Amino acid sequence: SLEMTGHSPRPTEEITRHIGYPLQQMYAEFGVGPFDQLYRYFQDRAATSVISASHALVGAEPVVRHLHSSGYKMAIATTKVRRHVDQIVDKLEWHQCFEALVGGDEVTSPKPDPAAFRLAVSRLGAQIEHTVVIGDTINDVLAARALSIPVVAVKSPYGGNDTLLASGPDYVIDTIAELPLLLKEMQER
């Protein structure tokens, strides 16, 4: 979207740091605009590239299936637009595992605003006090904190772990494979 609007492309590592954050924040940090045009180009291209490039984190598949079969009610709340979330979940064949999906375009303010988490909890028919957030960015931690929800930070393969850890999550795991045991320990407390 940068090149299509006459801006210089950015190195992969510079863009990777912005995964999980609203596009507007990335474009603002790059000092480029206008946002509406960049956003439109990005969404057009993302309709194919984001879906094809998306894959589950290593170890996520068995964890998602295990938690679902163990009776956990799960939701996804992301900054990605809802139609992309649906397509990614379809690609991963996870629709039966996640009872609620929330895209960033379904709330007026993206994370770190807690609106996406609030909507996900509502769609699950759950209660905030029985909720745990699992996330890999500082925005996940900040949004969970705003609702007083315990948060498990999963170290990200995309970087940003120093910022993630500095945000003060309640729990930190190196890989998603550690999640079932941690959830069991949390329930026993």
- Average pLDDT on 162-187 reads 96
pTM more than 0.85: no
Q: pLDDT (tens digit, 9 = 90+) per residue, 7-64?
A: 566 566 665 665 655 666 665 666 655 566 666 666 666 666 778 888 898 999 999 9
Separation between Cα atoms, residue 177 and residue 181, nearest integer Å: 9
Task: Provide the pLDDT confidence category of residue 154 given band limits of 50, 70 and 90.
Answer: very high
- Average pLDDT on 85-97 reads 96
For the chain, the distance separating the N- and C-terminal CA atoms, rounded to the nearest angstrom, is 48
Residue 164 near residue 141, CB atoms below 8 Å: yes
Task: Provide the pLDDT confidence category of residue 1 given band limits of 50, 70 and 90.
Answer: very low
